[in-house]
Amino acid sequence: MDTKTLITEAKARFAHNSAKEYLKEKYEAKLLVAEQGGLWRADQETIAFLTVMPNGGDDKLILMDTFDNPVLVDRSKLLSKLKGVYRSVMAEWYNEWKELENKR
């Protein structure tokens, strides 16, 4: 028996909240990036901080990573990496979320 038939026969209901929770688990894990000796979350807060903290000529910045270790980073390079990851992961998240919304 294929899964669709199984769902129909079991009169199973799509669990919207659980699916939302699952998407959060999945995509938050994908937002993690190891770069320049630290582990970073490509989230809005980190990207915003990197954006507003230009640091003079050498563009170096000390930042706390997700393990609470201070890491000396090349700001622009890290910002560019995190922005790239953020855009691609959030686009995937959004698309899957839209599919999920259609199941309501």
Partner 1 sequence: MTRGVILFAFNSPKYNYYDMALYTARRVKHFLNLPTTIVTDEDSLPEVQDDIWDNIIRVTPDKDNFRDWGLWINKGRYMAYNLSPYDETILLDVDYVVNSNKLLTLFDMDTDFCCHNKTNFLMHPGVPQELLSVYSYEALWATVVMFRKSKRAEQIFQCLEMVQKNYEHYANIHNFIAPVYRNDYALTLALRIVDGHYCDSSNFIPWDLLHVGKNTQIYKNNSDEFDTEFTVMFDNWQRGKIRKEYITVQDMDFHIMPKDLFLDIISE
For the CB of residue 30, give the shortest distance to partner 1 in the complex, in Å. Answer: 8
Contact 73, 63 (CB under 8 A): yes
- Distance, CA of 104 to CA of 96 (rounded, Å): 13
Q: How far is the CB of 35 from partner 1 (least distance, A)?
A: 8
Q: Which stretch binds partner 1 (CB under 8 A): 43-51, 52-60, 61-69, 74-82?
A: 61-69
Q: Toward partner 1, which CB reaches closer, 40 or 75?
A: 40
C-alpha–C-alpha distance, residues 42 and 93, integer Å: 14
Map the footprint of partner 1 across residues 69-98, applying CB under 8 A: 69
Residues 1-60 that bind partner 1 (CB under 8 A): 3, 6-7, 10-15, 17-19, 21-22, 25-26, 28-30, 32, 34, 37-39
CA distances from 19 to 9, 15, 51, 55, 99 (A): 21, 6, 33, 42, 11
